[in-house]
Every structure is written in C-alpha cells, then in structure tokens.
Amino acid sequence: MQISSKLPNVGTTIFTTMSALAREHNAINLSQGFPDFDCSPKLRELANHYINSGFNQYAPMPGTMQLRERVAEIISVSYGATYHPDTEITITAGATQAIYTALAAFINKGDEVIVIEPAYDCYVPAIEVHGGIAVYSQLNANDFSINWADVRSKINSKTKALIINSPHNPSGAVITAQDILELEKIISGTNILVISDEVYEHMAFDGALHQSVSRSAILKQQSILVSSFGKTVHTTGWKIGYVAAPKEIMNEFRKVHQFLVFVVNHPLQLALADFLADSENYQGLTHFYQQKRDLFLKLTAGSRFTPYKCSGTYFQLMSYKGISEENDTDLAIRLTKEKKLATIPLSVFYKNKTDNHLLRFCFAKKDETLAKAAEIICSL
Ligand code: PMP
Ligand code: GLN
C-alpha cells in the first residue's frame, strides 16, 4: 500500500529517543521530564480506594463534577478567576490531548498559528495535521523573553491562534505582567484564540507570580488555558489534565473531545479531586522544585557548564560552550553513551535546529540522583 503521510517530517520524539538511550546505556536520565520519585502515598491510597469502591465505568464526558469543581477552585484561589465547572472546564487525557483537541476544534486548512520558538514538540504536528501553518517567532536568545514586536509583525488576517507557554519548556523562562499587557494589545479586537500551555503553573520561582491568562479579563475571553496534573502531583503516567475556557469556546472544544477520547480515567479523577482539596498539595510545589533547582545549581557550580536563569519549570538549561564544539545532539548522545548521563539537546525545539550549544537538564529527581549527575557534570 502506498502511504501518503500527513506528517512526512515527523519521527519519534526526542523524549522517547533519549529515555530509551538512557535505559539502554544505564545512564542517569535527566532528559525526559518526569520525576524519579513517587507521588504521595495519600494520592495512591485514594486511587486504590476509588478503584476498589467500584468507580470503574465511564465518567461524565467533560470529567467528574468533583474534579471540575476542584479545578475551578484552584484557578480561583491561584489567579482570582471564575470558570463555571459545568460549561467552562473539561478534564482531558493530559495536556497533549488538550492542545491537540483545541487545535483540531479551531484550525482549518490554511489557518496560521503563531508558535514561539524554542517550542514544546507537540504543538506543530497538531497544527499541521489539521492543515494549519505554523508561523514562528523566536524568543530573545539571551533570556528567552518574548519579542513582541516580532510576534506583532507575524500577525495577519490568516492568524487563527497563538500558542504561549509559561513557565516555559525548555528554557525555564516565565512571562511577566508586562508580557500579558503586550499580549492583550495584540489580541484585543481580533478573533485570535490564545492557547496557553500552563502545565508548569505551580512552578514559578523566586517569588514570581505565575502569569496565567486567566488573570487578564481581556485574555480570558479568548483563551484556552491548558494544564496537567502530571506535573502538579508527580503523576506524569496518569495522563490527566484540564482545560478552562469561556463557554462558547468550550462548547466547540467538547465537540471534538467527545470523539477523540470521550472521557478520561474515572477513579483517578476522583482521587485527584480529593487530594487537591488540600491546597498545600499544589501550593507547596514551587518551594519543592525551587529547592531542587537550587541544589542542582549548587552541586554543579564547580563545573565548566554555564547555567541560564531558570525562573520556573523543572528544567535547567546549561551552555557547554566552554567544554565542547560538538553539536548539541551529538554531545547529548555521546554523554549518554560514554558518561552515562542523558540530557535533551536544545536544537530539537527549533524548526531549523538552531544549535546554541545548550543542553536541558531535568531536576525533578531525588537529591541523590542529582548528586550523582552533578559528579558527572563536574567531571566534564
Ligand atoms: N506542554 C508542556 C510544555 C510540557 O512540558 C508537557 C510535558 N509534559 C506537556 C505539554 C504535555 O503534558 P501531558 O503529559 O499532560 O500530556
Ligand atoms: N514534557 C516532557 C519533557 O519536556 C516529556 C513528555 C513526553 O515525553 N512527551 O521532557
């Protein structure tokens, strides 16, 4: 059979590739973003409880009301914004499905979507598979801030959506209140949809406020807020996330959602709803990961790598300009095989594979894992 691929340039994701290489070479895995420690025993107990209590059939299509109400509460507590659980919040199979569904629901052939680079890898294929066109704007190279003049210059009558991500994977940069004002100016009076990937929403460091689009009355009207419990409660393997958006937008989102997944894992939704009733279980995350970041920076301070400023997420960027001339992908592969340390090369987050000699290290790891990794890093 002759196959005409809808995604001819897409291979296997770098995260899958590097984690497989790490396993094959028994390397410490600071590549793919996931914790190497378990989620809370309380959360596991709750999951067992709901499985053993018979909640093993379909949940309601938009998610259990308990979890939708909990999400509304978290957004209200965190950002002072109101979303109605009935019509404005939907539980998804992780943020990846949420973003895919949002693009499927709104992007027609020939529509343009602004993607800010370096960009997380699931955005562009989900645009292109629906016939959309990704239009790229580069973050400023020195601090990974958004170049709003450039974003503005890329907007035209075909622009249908704009994807932002803060705290930002892979750079660890966060947007500021000023960025929100810039985005408001661009979006006001247009029909452009903002898809705001906020999966690291509870990991903004050094006292920074997470600038959720839901804080802005203007942006909230035209945005789909996307998040993931995988990051917030250390359960990347559960693949449960959520979206919040005004009713009219959510209505379109759900039309696709119901035929893409229909519903998401029922007992785990109930467990999450109970667990997150204690606000410390999400508000404590910033402190937890800020300590990890600080430990990682302290342990690697004697190395020849130069760290970038990490203001959020669980990723630390490091420049290896002082160590090697190799391209970043070759170096990441070689470090995995020879030094037993897996990382992610930054060039994979750019369409043109821009190589600024940067590697991304995931510090969502046990302190002893970070210590072992730091030993290798300091030996290079
Ligand atoms: N967006 C960003 C920026 C991410 O880093 C990730 C990865 N975890 C996702 C979306 C996808 O999240 P999920 O695992 O919930 O699909
Ligand atoms: N978001 C994770 C990362 O950036 C990976 C998730 C995945 O493997 N798709 O490392």
Note the ligand closest to the C-alpha atom of 229: 1
31 Cα nearest atom in ligand 2? 10
- For the question of whether the overall pTM of this predicted structure is more than 0.95, the answer is yes
Tokens of residue 23, six digits: 């396993």
Q: Is residue 46 part of a domain?
A: no
| Pair (85, 18) in one structural domain | no
> Last residue of some domain: 221, 250, 278?
278
Tell me how far the alpha carbon of residue 218 lies from the centroid of ligand 2, in angstroms: 31
Identify which of 120, 225, 348, 349 to mutate to test ligand 1's pocket (most ligand atoms within 8 A of the CB): 120
| Pair (200, 127) in one structural domain | yes
Q: Is residue 163 part of a domain?
A: yes
Range of the domain at 137: 57-278
Q: Over the stretch 357-369, which tens digit does the pLDDT of each residue have? A: 999 999 999 999 9
Q: Over the stretch 208-226, which tens digit does the pLDDT of each residue have? A: 999 999 999 999 999 999 9
Q: Is residue 51 part of a domain?
A: no
Residues touching ligand 1 (Cβ under 6 Å) are 33, 94-96, 120, 165, 169, 197, 199, 228, 230, 236, 239, 241
Distance CA 333, CA 342 (A): 7
Q: Is residue 47 part of a domain?
A: no
Residue 91 belongs to a domain with what CATH number? Answer: 3.40.640.10
| Pair (77, 20) in one structural domain | no
Q: Is residue 4 part of a domain?
A: no
If pLDDT is split at 50, 70 and 90, which confidence band does 322 have? confident
| Pair (110, 197) in one structural domain | yes
Distance CA 356, CA 117 (A): 13
Q: Is residue 45 part of a domain?
A: no
Q: How many domains does the chain have?
A: 2
> Last residue of some domain: 229, 263, 278?
278
Q: Could you give the C-alpha distances from 91 to 87, 98, 102, 116, 294, in angstroms and in order?
A: 12, 9, 13, 26, 33
**pLDDT mean across residues, the chain:** 97
Q: Over the stretch 167-206, which tens digit does the pLDDT of each residue have? A: 999 999 999 999 999 999 999 999 999 999 999 999 999 9
| Pair (197, 343) in one structural domain | no
> Last residue of some domain: 278, 307, 329?
278
154-157 CB contacts, 8 Å cutoff, 24+ apart:
154/114, 155/114, 155/186, 155/190, 155/192, 156/112
Our answer on whether the CB atom of 121 is closer than 6 Å to any ligand 2 atom is no
Contact 107, 127 (CB under 8 A): yes
Q: Is residue 358 part of a domain?
A: yes
| Pair (374, 352) in one structural domain | yes
**Bridging pattern class, strands 315-319 and 306-307:** antiparallel
| Pair (189, 87) in one structural domain | yes
Tell me how far the alpha carbon of residue 380 lies from the centroid of ligand 1, in angstroms: 30
Q: Of 87, 315, 88, give the one whose Cα is nearest residue 199.
A: 315
Q: Is residue 256 part of a domain?
A: yes
Angle at 261 between CA 260 and CA 263, to 5 degrees: 140
Q: Over the stretch 56-94, which tens digit does the pLDDT of each residue have? A: 999 999 999 999 999 999 999 999 999 999 999 999 999
| Pair (221, 119) in one structural domain | yes
| Pair (294, 339) in one structural domain | yes
Tell me how far the alpha carbon of residue 33 lies from the centroid of ligand 2, in angstroms: 5
Q: Over the stretch 289-303, which tens digit does the pLDDT of each residue have? A: 999 999 999 999 999
Distance CA 124, CA 206 (A): 31
Amino acid in the structure at residue 276:
L
| Pair (86, 182) in one structural domain | yes
If pLDDT is split at 50, 70 and 90, which confidence band does 35 have? very high
Angle at 105 between CA 224 and CA 94, to 5 degrees: 55
169 Cα nearest atom in ligand 1? 3
Tokens of residue 99, six digits: 């973003």
| Pair (215, 108) in one structural domain | yes
Tell me how far the alpha carbon of residue 98 lies from the centroid of ligand 2, in angstroms: 15
Alpha helices in the chain (DSSP H): 14-24, 41-52, 65-79, 94-106, 123-128, 148-153, 177-187, 217-221, 229-232, 247-260, 266-275, 280-283, 285-299, 328-334, 367-379
SS3 178: helix
Distance CA 344, CA 363 (A): 12
Distance CA 283, CA 74 (A): 10
Task: Using a pLDDT cut of 70, give the percent of the chain over it.
Answer: 100
Q: Of 89, 152, 93, 156, give the one whose Cα is nearest residue 122.
A: 93
Tell me how far the alpha carbon of residue 285 lies from the centroid of ligand 1, in angstroms: 17
